[in-house]
Amino acid sequence: MLQRWWQNLLNRTRSATSAQAALETPSGTVIPVSRAGQWLLLTLGLALAWVVGWGLVVLNQEAIRLSKPTLADGGAATLLFRDAWAVASSASHYPLDQVGQSVGLPDEWSRSHPSYEGSIWYRVHFDTPIQPSTDKLLAAYIERACSNVEVHLNGQLLYRGGRMTEPVARNCDQSHVVPLPSFLLRTGSNQLDLKVTGYPIERVTARQRAGGLDEVRVGPLQDMQRMHQDHEFWSNTVSQVIAGILVVLGLFALGLAWVRQLSYLTYFGLLTIGWSLMTGRWWINELPVSNASTEVLIAMMFAPMTAFAIKFLLGYSGHGMRNRKARDLTRQVNAILWAQCLLLPLSLWLVGVNGLFLVARLWYVLFALELFVAIGYFLWHSGRTRKPEFWLMSVALGVVSAVMGIELSFQNGLLRVWGVHVTYFVMPVLYAVVAVRLIQVYAGALKTAEGARNQLEKRVQEISAEIERNFNQIAELRVEQIAEKERKRIAADLHDDLGAKLLTIVHTSDNDRISTLAREALEEMRLSVRGLTGRPMILSDALADWRAEVVSRLGQSGIEIEWRNSIDEVEEPLSARTYVQTTRIIREAVSNIIKHSQASHVVIHTDVHLEHHDFLLVIQDNGKGIPMELDGRLDRGHGMTSMKHRAKQLNGQCLVESGPGFGTVIRLTLPLEIAVVQQKVAIEHTQAASTASIPDGAQGSPLGTTP
Amino acid sequence: MKQILLLEDLPEIRAWLKTLALQVFPGAHISESARVHDALELVNAVRFDVALCDLGLPDGSGVEVVQALREKQPDVQSVVVTIHDDDEHLFPALQAGAFGYLLKEQSREQLAEQLHRISQGEPPLSPSIARRVIKYFTAQASQQPISQADSVTPHVQLTDRENEVLLRVAKGFTLPEIGVQLNLSRHTIADYVKQIYRKLNVSSRAEAALEAQRLGLFRR
C-alpha cells in the first residue's frame, strides 16, 4: 500500500520533470537511466550517504573524546573540580547566608535548576597544594560558563567576562582563563567563587546557550592558557576562518549568479553567506538587545537558510524550468518556504519567552525533514541524468543527516556532550565541495561556450572569406556585365544608325560598285559588332558556320567545293574576336577565288593540333594563281596584306603560295586561346546561371548530346 | 490576290521591300506599317497571307507582331526581315512562329529567291539557328520529367529524321548537301525544316503557357 503510494508519487514527479530533466543539465552529460537502474542507483546513493553519515558520527565522537581536556592535559599540577557548592543568588558576593547544594560539574541548569533564570554562585575550595614555584603562577580555567561568569578568589573580584545584568554577555562558546594573583592566595584553604549568569533552556533556542557551568581547573598559568588557546582555536578561530572563507565563496557564487543569471547559484551564495553569519554569531558577545530577542533572531535565520538550501537543491536539479506543472509546484514550494520565514518568528512570539526552546526545536525538526525531502528529490532527479551530481549529493545527504542527527539529538538532550563538534567543520567543507562542483560546472560551460565561440569565430572567418570571394566575383561579373551592356548598346546603335544608312545605300544606289561596297561595309560592321558582343564559341561550331557560308557562296558561283575536317568534334573554345577575324580572312579568300581565280574546284582542309594549341585551315584552289608584282611579291590588291595582318593580330600566320597555273594555297595557322577563353566561358556560365531563366544551353557541345 | 503585311520603319527600305514583295508576289495587296502598334491593328482587321516583319522598331519588336499573327491567323507565313543574322535575334522570332528570315543587305536577286523559296515552303536554316534549336529541344527533353504530370503541356519531340537534318545543318552542311547525303528530295528536306520550325513554335507556346500558368499560381 505504502509502496504503491510511493510509486505513484514518483511517477507524478517523473512525468512532471522527466522531459526537461535531460535538457536542463548544467553538466551537459545526459545519460538517461532506466527505472530499475534508477532504483539501484538510488539505493547505492543512500548506502553511500549512510556510510558517510555513520563515518561522520564516529568521527564526531572521536573528536569530542580527543578535544575533551583530560586531567593529564593540565599536567600533574592541575586540580580538576568535579563538584561545587552551588547557591542560586544574584548577590554581588557569595551569599553565605543562603543554603546551597552540592552539584556535580559540568552542571546543566536544565537538570539541576530547571527554569531558573538569574545567577548561580559556585564555590570550590582548594588548598594550595602546589605552592606556586618561583617561576610559575596559578590560574583558573573555565571551559564553558553560560552565558557569563564572574570569578572571585577569597572574596575578591578577579575577573568578569562581560555584562552580568540583562542583556548578559553571550560567552557560552568561550572559555575563560583567570590568573590567580599570588598575594590573594592563602596558604591552606582558598575559596574560588564563580558567579554564573544564564538563562533556562526554555528561553533559548539552542541547548548550547542554556545556562550551565563546565568543569573548573586550577593549575599553572601556562598550562591553563594553553588549554584556553586550544579551545579558542578549535571552537572560535577555526569557525571564524571558515566563516570568512564561506563569505568569500558565497560572494563568488553570487557574482557568478549575477553573471550567468542562474537562480540556484544565487541561493547557494545566500546559503553560504547565511551559514557564515550564523557560525560567526560568536563574534559579537555583547548585543544591546534582550536575550529573548537575540535568540529569536538567531532562530529566525534558520527559516530563510532552509529556504535557500531547498531552493538551491531544486534549482540545481533543474526542477520546474520547462514544465508548467512543475512551475506551479515550484510556486507552491516558494510560498511555503517564505511563509515559514514569517511563521517561525510569529510562532515564537506567540508562545512567549518560556516556549522558545520547545518551538524552535519543533521548527528544527521540520526544517530537517524538509531538507531530507529536498535532497531525496535531488537524488532521484540527478540519479537519472547527472552522475557526478548524484554521487556528490549522496555524500552531502550523509553529511547533512549526520550533522542534523547529532545536532537534533544534542538539542533534545539525547546526546550529552560538550566540546568541539565535527559538525562545525563538516558543513563548510560540504559547501566548499558543492562550490567546487558548481565552479567546475561553470568552467565546463565556459569551456563549451568558448569552444562554441571559437567555432563560431572560425565559421565567421570562413564566411567572411567566402563573402569576400563572392564579392570579388560579383564585382568582376558586374564589370563584365557593364562592359557587356555597353557593348550591346554600341552594337544596337551601330545597327540602328550606321546599319540603316548602309542598308539604304545598298538598296537605293544605282551604282553596283557602291551598293556592293555598302553591303561589304555592312557585313564588316556586323562582324565587328559580333566581335564586340559575341560569346566565345567552340571550334566545331565555328567550322560549321564557315563551312555553311563557304559552301553556299562557292556553290552559288558554280565552284565545286570539298571541305575536309580532319577532326570531327573539336571542343576547344574560340573567342568571338578570333572567330570574327578568321571569318574575315576566309571571306576574303573566298571572294578572291570567286572574283579572280577562275577556279573550278576548291579544297578546304582543317586540322587541329592540340599539342601545339593551334588549328590549321588550308584553302586550295585550282585557279590561275595570283600574279606577281614587279618586286616579286604577290599582288596586294587581292587583299593578301589584310589577311596576313589579321592573322598576325591573332598571333597566327597566313601563308600564301601561288604561281601562274598552279592555283593558290592559303595556309592559315591560328592559336587556340584556351586559357583566355575558358575564363571568359566560366564568367558567361555564372552570368547565365544568375540571370537566364530560359534554358539557354551551355557553351559546351550541343551535338554530343543528340543521337 | 495575296494580302501582304509589310512592317518596316525606314521609308526607303520599306519602299524597296515593297517592290521586292511585288516582284515575288505580283499583284499582291500590300499593307504597310511603320510601327508595331499599327501592325497589330492591321492584324486584327485584315486577313494576310504573308507578313514581312522587321525586328527592331521604334515602339517595340516585330516578334510581337509575329506572335499576334500566329495566334490570330495561324496560316500566315511570317517572315522576319532583319539586319541581324545572329541566332540571338532570330531565335525568339522563330519561336514566336516566324517561318523564315531574310537578311536585308543581300542583293535583290538573292532576297527574291529566298522569299520565293520561303513562300514555297522552303525556309532557310543556318548552322547557328540549328544549334540553337537542338539546344532548345535538348533542354526541353531534360525538363520533361518534371512537367510530365502536367497533362496540359503536350510533349513536342523531334523525329529522328528531323534530328538528323538539324544535326547536319549544325555541322555546316547545306540543305541540298543533306538531301544528297540522306538521299532525300529537296522538298522532303524542306518539309523537315518546316516541321522543325512548327514544332519549335508549338513547344515554345506550350512552354509560355506553362510559364504563365505558373506565374498565375504564384500570384494567387
Each residue of B193-207: pLDDT tens digit? 888 888 888 888 888
pLDDT for A493-509, tens place per residue? Answer: 887 788 888 888 888 88
Check whether A631 has a pLDDT greater than 80.
no
Q: Can you read off the three cell numbers belonging to residue B194?
A: 518546316
Residue type, A140: A
B125-177 pLDDT, tens digit per residue, is 888 888 888 888 888 777 655 544 444 455 678 888 888 998 999 888 988 88
- Looking at the complex, report in whole angstroms how far the Cα of residue A41 sits from the nearest Cα belonging to chain B: 59
Binned at pLDDT 50, 70 and 90, residue A603 comes out as very high
Q: With a cut of 50, say whether residue A355 has pLDDT above it.
A: yes
Asked if B163 has any chain A CB less than 8 Å from its own CB, the reply is yes
A chain contacts of residue B132, beta-carbon cutoff 8 Å: 697
Interface of A with B (CB under 8 A): 492, 495-496, 499-500, 502-504, 506-508, 515, 519, 522-523, 526, 530, 534, 540-541, 543-548, 551-552, 555, 563, 695-697, 702-703, 705-707
Indicate the residue of B86, B134, B169 with minimum beta-carbon distance to A706: B134
User: Region B83-112: what's the mean pLDDT?
Assistant: 84
Rounded Cα gap, residues A601 and A623, in angstroms? 8
pLDDT score at A460: 92
Asked whether the predicted pLDDT for residue A278 surpasses 90, the reply is no
Q: Rounded to whole angstroms, how far apart are CA atoms A315 and A265?
A: 8
Burial A52-73 (b: 16+ CB within 10 A, else e): bbeebbeebeebbeebebeeee
CB contact under 8 A, A544 and B139: no
Continuous segment of H or E residues that includes residue A449: helix A423-493
CA B209: distance to chain centroid?
19
SS3 A632: coil
Q: Which backbone phi and psi does A624 adopt, to 5 degrees?
A: -85, -5
Residue ranges per structural domain of chain A: 76-221, 535-688
Tell me how far the alpha carbon of residue A118 is from its chain's centroid: 60
Q: Which amino acid is at B30?
A: I
Residue type present at position A396: A
Q: Which of A125-129, A489-493, B131-135 has the lowest mean pLDDT?
A: A125-129
Q: Which helix (H) or strand (E) holds A112?
A: helix A109-112
pLDDT digits (tens, 9 = 90+) for A216-258: 888 888 888 888 888 888 777 877 888 888 888 888 888 888 8
Residues of A in contact with B163 (CB under 8 A): 706-707
Q: Which of A85-94, A173-182, A207-216, A455-464 shows the highest mean pLDDT?
A: A455-464
Is beta strand A560-565 parallel, antiparallel or unpaired with respect to A601-609? parallel
Grid cell, residue A699, equals 557553351
* pLDDT tens for each residue of A30-39: 445 566 777 7
Residue A604's pLDDT is what?
Answer: 92
Instruction: List all residues 6 or more positions away from A603 whose beta carbon is below 8 Å from its beta carbon.
Output: A561, A562, A563, A564, A618, A619, A620, A621
Q: How many residues does chain A have?
A: 707
pTM: 0.51
pLDDT exceeds 60 at position A579: yes
Mean pLDDT of B182-186: 89
Mark yes or no for CB contact B170/A547 under 8 Å.
no
How many residues are listed for chain B in this entry?
220
pLDDT band at A416 (very low <50, low <70, confident <90, very high): low
Least confident of A148-162, A345-359, A409-423, A565-579: A409-423
Is B165 in contact with B176 (CB distance < 8 Å)? no
Mutate to test the interface with A, among B10, B20, B57, B83 (most CBs of A within 10 A): B83
Query: Can you give the three-state secondary structure of A223-267, one letter per residue?
Result: HHHHHHHHHHHHHHHHHHHHHHHHHHHHHHHHHHHHHHCCHHHHH
Name residue B52's beta-bridge partners.
Answer: B6, B79
Residue numbers in A near B181 (CB within 8 A): none
CB of B218 within 8 Å of a chain A CB? The answer is: no
**Residue with C-alpha cell 544551353?**
A697
Nearest to B12 among A504, A702, A703 (CB): A504
Distance CA A29, CA A569 (A): 64
Distance CA A269, CA A442 (A): 14
Top CATH class, A535-688: alpha beta
Average pLDDT, chain A: 77
CA pair distance A587, A658, nearest whole angstrom = 18
Chain B hits for A563, Cβ within 8 Å = 172
Torsion of Cα atoms, B105 then B109 then B114 then B120, to 10°? 150
Q: Are A605 and A546 in contact (CB under 8 A)?
A: no
Burial label for A617, CB within 10 Å (0-12, 13-18, 19+), is buried
Rounded Cα gap, residues A27 and A94, in angstroms: 66
From CA A585, how far away is CA A578, in angstroms rounded? Answer: 10
Residue A354 carries which DSSP code?
G
Cβ contact B13–A507 (<8 Å): yes
Quick check: B136 and A697 CB within 8 A?
yes
**Hey, are the CB atoms on A697 and B135 less than 8 Å from each other?**
yes
B residues 20..49 contacting A (CB < 8 A):
none
Q: Do A503 and B176 touch (CB under 8 A)?
A: no
- By CA distance, what is A561's nearest residue in B? B177
Does the pLDDT of residue A706 top 50, yes or no?
A: no
pLDDT digits (tens, 9 = 90+) for A36-53: 777 777 787 778 878 887
- Please measure the distance between the N-terminal and C-terminal CA atoms of chain B and give it in whole angstroms: 49
pLDDT bin (cut points 50, 70, 90) of residue A696 is very low
Per-residue confidence band for A399, with pLDDT thresholds at 50, 70 and 90: confident
Joined together, the cell numbers standing for residue A45 give 546513493
- Angle CA(A94)–CA(A96)–CA(A102) in degrees, nearest 5? 80
Closest partner residue to A530 among B10, B86, B126, by Cβ?
A: B86
Give me the residue from B13, B128, B139 closest to A545, CB to CB: B128
Q: Please enumerate in sequence order all residues whose Cβ is within 8 A of that of A400, keeping only pairs 6 or more positions apart, or say none.
A: A371, A372, A375, A430
Report the pLDDT value the prediction gives residue B154, as an integer from 0 to 100. Answer: 55
The three cell numbers of residue B21 are: 514583295
Categorize the per-residue pLDDT at B32 as very low, low, confident or very high, splitting at 50, 70 and 90: very high
Give the 3-state DSSP-derived string for chain B, with helices as H, strands as E and coil as C: CCEEEEECCCHHHHHHHHHHHHHHCCCCEEEEECCHHHHHHHHHHCCCCEEEECCEECCEEHHHHHHHHHHHCCCCEEEEEECCCCHHHHHHHHHHCCCEEEECCCCHHHHHHHHHHHHCCCCCCCHHHHHHHHHHHHHHHHHHHHHCCCCCCCCCCCCHHHHHHHHHHHCCCCHHHHHHHHCCCHHHHHHHHHHHHHHHHHHHHHHHHHHHHHHHHHHC
Give the architecture-level CATH label for domain A76-221: Sandwich (2.60)
What residues in A contact B180, CB-CB < 8 Å? Answer: none
**If you average pLDDT over residues A370-383, what whole number do you get?**
81
- Domains of chain B listed by start with CATH number: 3-119 (3.40.50.2300), 127-219 (1.10.10)
Closest C-alpha to A11, from A380, A389, A382, A393 = A380
- At A457, the pLDDT band (50, 70, 90 cuts) reads very high
Chain A interface mutation, best of B52, B91, B105, B108, highest count of A Cβ atoms under 10 Å = B105
Does the pLDDT of residue A15 top 60, yes or no?
no
Of chain A, the end-to-end C-alpha distance in Å amounts to 85
Using CB atoms, pick whichever of A507, A563, A702 lies closest to residue B16: A507
Q: At CA A93, angle to CA A92 and CA A96, rounded to 5?
A: 135
> What pLDDT band is residue B51 in, cutting at 50, 70 and 90?
very high
- Note the pLDDT tens digit of each residue in A417-456: 555 566 667 777 788 888 888 888 888 888 898 899 999 9
| Beta strand segments in A369-464, E | none
CB pairs under 8 A between A and B: 101
